[in-house]
Amino acid sequence: MKEIRIHARAGQGAITTATLLGYAYFLKGMYPYAFPNFGAARMGAPMNAFVRVDTKPVRLRSQIYEPDYILVMDPTLMRGFNCFSGLKEDGIAIINDKEGADAPKVKTKQKVFVVPATDIAMKAIGRPLGNTALIGAFAAATGQLDLDTLLEVIKKRFKGKAQEGNIEAVKQGYEYIKRR
């Protein structure tokens, strides 16, 4: 079983991110359970979305406290809130932040990747929605999903220009990590 915790503000696409990741696992023949936890249920309020995935149907319905992977969609969430709480000893975190931003210090075996997902999205999609670049980075950083599966998911989820832009964003997020 693998557990992913997504940190975002309401409106930044955390649920879409969980959906896309869940769908990609589903296409691989796994059993994902993707679900949100709303905070104040208002735009901008901190919220979480989660993906729990296993080779058999997931029955555990609680939130995720000891994730294998963390996605932070908005670096300002890390001011005053410990997004890394419970991250596994060998866990991986992927943070959307500006190119060259300092990565937070973590334990020896843990890994942190900073990806300029919003910048990638602005160029590829024209809107500050970094989630697709971030899942590209997730695939490259964790090896959990391959690029082709993600692209298949994007093609099913988006049409027309949004599809083109998001395909580009996923690829750039993926390659950004691979180039490191």
Partner 1 sequence: MKEFLEGSRAVAEIVKMCKPGVISAYPITPQTHIVEELAQMVANGELNAQFVNVESEHSAASVVLGGVAAGVRSFTATSSQGLFYMAEVLFNISGMRLPLVMTCANRAISAPINIWNDQQDSLSLRDSGWVQLYAENIQEAVDLHLIGYRLSEDKSMMLPVMVCMDGFILTHGMEAVDMPKQEEVDKFLPAYKPLYKLDTAEPISMGLLADPDYYIETRFAMQETFKDALKLIPTINEEFKNCFNRDYKDGLVEEYYTKDAEKVIVAMGSVCGTIKEVVDAQRAKGKKIGLLKVISYRPFPYARVYDALKDVPRVAVLDKAVSLGAYAPLAIEIKAAFSGKKKSPKVISSFVAGLGGRDITAESVKEILTKLTQKEINLEFIDLKPELLKEEYGE
Query: Contact positions toward partner 1, by CB under 8 A?
Result: 15, 18-19, 22-23, 26, 31-38, 41, 57-63, 65
Q: How far is the CB of 43 from partner 1 (least distance, A)?
A: 14
Residue reference for tokens 């590209």:
136
Nearer to partner 1 by C-beta: 51 or 120? 51
Q: How far is the CB of 76 from partner 1 (least distance, A)?
A: 25
Nearer to partner 1 by C-beta: 57 or 143? 57
Q: State how beta strands 69-72 and 2-9 pair.
A: parallel
Q: Given its phi and psi angles, is residue 107 left (phi above 0), alpha (psi -120 to 50 degrees) or beta?
A: beta
Nearer to partner 1 by C-beta: 60 or 103? 60
Residue reference for tokens 């309401």:
10
Nearer to partner 1 by C-beta: 120 or 145? 145
Q: How far is the CB of 91 from partner 1 (least distance, A)?
A: 19
Joined together, the tokens standing for residue 50 give 């989660």
In angstroms, the Cα distances linking 146 to 7, 64, 87, 137 are 23, 24, 23, 11
